[in-house]
Each structure stands twice: as structure tokens, then as C-alpha cells.
Homo-oligomer: A and B are copies of this chain.
């Protein structure tokens, strides 16, 4: 058995504490599997005195995580401080600059600085791994970077934010509006006091950006993606979608289409019988489609102490075994600034993406000829109607649901704007993409 791998653990929140517990609980198991002992040497956090339910007396302490990253008795830094810049980034840079391996759960930092950090790690000959940054305990970075590495990936889809999926699931199950369910989720600890990062789709978009960068060998930035959150998903749409055989999910999709790479995170309708349609609660799911392998579906807990620790320790064991891969599955130099020679993909375009069918909802005056005017406006834009139904109603306004055939987004937006201008249109029309899965 070779020398122990000595960890410097930067951050002792929920995830950091989970890493301590896992490495202490399974010291023997991990040593057997890794071929050498894995030890925590030094820890760092903002407060030394806070009770975290684990005994830290056996570990050296550093107030400053950057100092921890520079210690001679640390071979590998686990960064679980969080935040896109600040101490997390300083710690990561110090670790790599000092020739130390880096394992991080930090999706914000990786989505922003991942390629630069990867280039630095490759230049230094050390590992940089971030399984825990995407979909918690699901080994999806590994599946994509390693297991499916022989495939050209056509599409990656994911439900990557447990808070959003929990809220949408509860709205459906309890017939309750968004604000009420969000409040309950906050009481239960499933949503943050400031939930905007989750419900606004940013957290999920950062994870998708990391997966897409690996999958397509091209840099994908959150700023270039279409990102919509779930704040405007109404209970009415959830219920109407269910009547039509769909569920509404915050779904990330990255796909190579027409020589371009498209990535978006937005509420979509998916068939109720599909694996994603069946996904309930805080569970995450990722669908990977490769040209040889076909469709692989992975699901599991996307957050939390245990699952995130599991992903981090899995990365640590790989490093202890001597595994050294390019962090994004291919040299970072080929990923910065442009699509690599091999991928042939144009940079991520803005806009509505590949054609799709859409779920449309209108609130219209209940008067003769109104439906015909809406149908005519769609027809003029070249959008044909697959299904149309007027919902039973008591008042003078009729909710009308339309499922369109496949269309580009631009003519659809033009038609919706025209319909919104009609005197019979009582509310801004709603359009939600239907994803074929």
C-alpha cells in the first residue's frame, strides 16, 4: 500500500461535514478500494467553534482556505466553500498553482471559470474533478466524460434542480399555486430563503452548461443560453397540461442541431408517461443520447449532504488511484474561445432553438368568431394546429388551449403578438415548449 492521500478540506457546511463523515465512516473500505489510505489532514471554515456534529479535533485547522491550499501536508484540496469567485476561486487557484489536485462541488465557479481552471490543472499535471457540481450523487460527469466517451452525443437533457421539481410536483399534487407551495418548501428546507437562484433556473443552467461543454466539446456559457425559471408557471397551465397528457418540468436541453449547438433551460411540457414526466419530488434526472449507445437515463438525489459527499469522495478515490483525465474529457485548450476542430459546431446561438410543438393558452372573449380569428392569426404565421380545445368556464371569458404542430419560435412569437393585440384577447398568451423525449 502506498502513501496516504492527504486532503485539505476547504468549507465545513453541510457538504463539507458530509465529506468528513463519509471518509471517517468508510476509512477501511475506501483504503481497500483506492489502494491507499485517504485521510483528511487539514480543514478550514469561517467559524472554528460552530458545532457541526463531527469531531474536528484530529485535523489541523486553517482560518484561511488559501493557506490550507498551500500547505505542504496537503495533496488534494476539496473545495466546498461555494460562490463563483471570492475565497472559493482563490482557494482553487492556489491549489492548482501549488501542484495539488482539486475536487470541487462548486457549479457556479466551474460554469464561470472551469475551462481556465482545467487548463491550469492540465498544465500542472494534476486532477480537477467536479462530479458533485452536477446532479449531486448521480455519476453523470463520469458517465459522459468516460463511459460514453466513444460516442458523438446528440442531445443531453436534464431535470437538474430539485427545488424546482419539488415545487412543480407539489403544485400538481395539491392543486396549489406557486407562491403557496414555495412558502411551504421554504418552511421544509427544500427551498432557500432567497430562492431566486433555484427557481430562476440559474442553478440548473450552470449544471447544464458543464454537461454540454463536455458532451459537445465546445464552451457553453450560461449567458448565451435561453434561461427561464418556474416563477411564471401557473397552476392553470399545470392542470391543462395534465389534461392533455403532459407534465410541466424545468427541463434543460443541449443539442447539436443543424451544425449549431443549442442549450436552454426552461419550463417544458413532457409526456406524462416518459421517465422525465414520471419524475417526482427533489430527484434529479439526466438523459444522455449518443449515436452508438442510444439513450441512457440516470436518476437519483441531486443534492444533500450524503449524495454530494458521495460524488466528492468518488472523485477523491479516482485521484487516489492515480486516474488523471482532462477535466472536461478533452484538452481544455481546444475548448476555449472556439469549437474544437473535431466538433464542427458553431457557437451557441441565441433564440428559440430547434423547431418544436408548443402548448398555447389564450383567454378570449366568449363571442362568435373569436376562435376563428385566433386560428387565422396562427395560420397566417404558418403555424398549424394539432389540437384545440375550449375549456368549460362560467364567466364571459373562455380559456382556449392549442397544441401546435412543430414550428420555429420566431413566427410563433409574431403570431402571439398579433393575437395579443386583438380586442378579444383578455390576457397575454402563454406559450410553453413541448419537448419530444
Residues of A in contact with B (beta carbons under 8 Å apart): 18, 21-23, 25-26, 28-30, 32-35, 131, 137-139, 142-143, 146-152, 217, 273, 275, 278, 290-301, 304, 306-307, 309-311, 313-314, 316-318, 321-326, 329-331, 334, 340-342
Contact = CB atoms under 8 A, between A and B. Distances in A.
A32 B150 contact: no
Nearest to A280: B273
Nearest to A301: B294
Contacts of A22: 150, 292
| Copies held by the complex | 2
Most buried by B among A29, A35, A292, A341: A292
B293 A307 contact: yes
Contact of A329 (B33, B217, B290, B313): B33
B297 A310 contact: no
A143 B148 CA distance: 12
Given A32-B334, A32-B342, A296-B299, 19 more contacts: A21-B292, A25-B291, A26-B150, A29-B152, A30-B149, A32-B331, A33-B149, A33-B330, A137-B296, A138-B296, A139-B142, A142-B146, A146-B317, A149-B317, A293-B300, A296-B300, A297-B298, A322-B324, A323-B325
Contacts of A146: 139, 142, 314, 317-318
Contacts of A293: 137, 300-301, 306-307, 310-311
A61 B311 CA distance: 44
Nearest to A138: B296
Most buried by B among A22, A293, A314: A293
A80 to B, nearest CB: 15
Contacts of A341: 28
Nearest to A290: B310
11 contacts: A29-B150, A32-B217, A32-B330, A32-B334, A35-B326, A35-B331, A142-B146, A292-B313, A293-B310, A296-B300, A297-B300
Most buried by B among A318, A325, A341: A325
A265 to B, nearest CB: 22
Contacts of A34: 149
B325 A321 contact: yes
Nearest to A214: B33
A307 B148 CA distance: 10
A6 B30 CA distance: 33
Contact of A292 (B143, B310, B323): B310
Given A150-B309, A311-B147, A299 B317 contact: no
A32 to B, nearest CB: 5
Contacts of A323: 323, 325
Which 4 A-B pairs rank lowest in CB-CB distance, beginning with the nearest? Answer: A139-B147, A150-B313, A293-B310, A137-B293
A139 B131 CA distance: 15
A370 to B, nearest CB: 41
A344 B86 CA distance: 45
A323 B318 CA distance: 9
Most buried by B among A18, A21, A149, A273: A149
A318 B147 CA distance: 8
Nearest to A140: B147
Contacts of A151: 26, 310
Most buried by B among A275, A295, A296, A297: A296
A211 to B, nearest CB: 15
Contact of A149 (B290, B304, B313): B313
A297 B309 CA distance: 18
Given A30-B149, A35-B326, A309-B150, A294 B217 contact: no
Contacts of A149: 30, 33-34, 313-314, 317-318
Contact of A147 (B26, B295, B306, B314): B314
A151 B317 CA distance: 11
A29 B300 CA distance: 30
Given A32-B217, A32-B330, A294 B307 contact: yes
A206 to B, nearest CB: 21
A321 B311 CA distance: 21
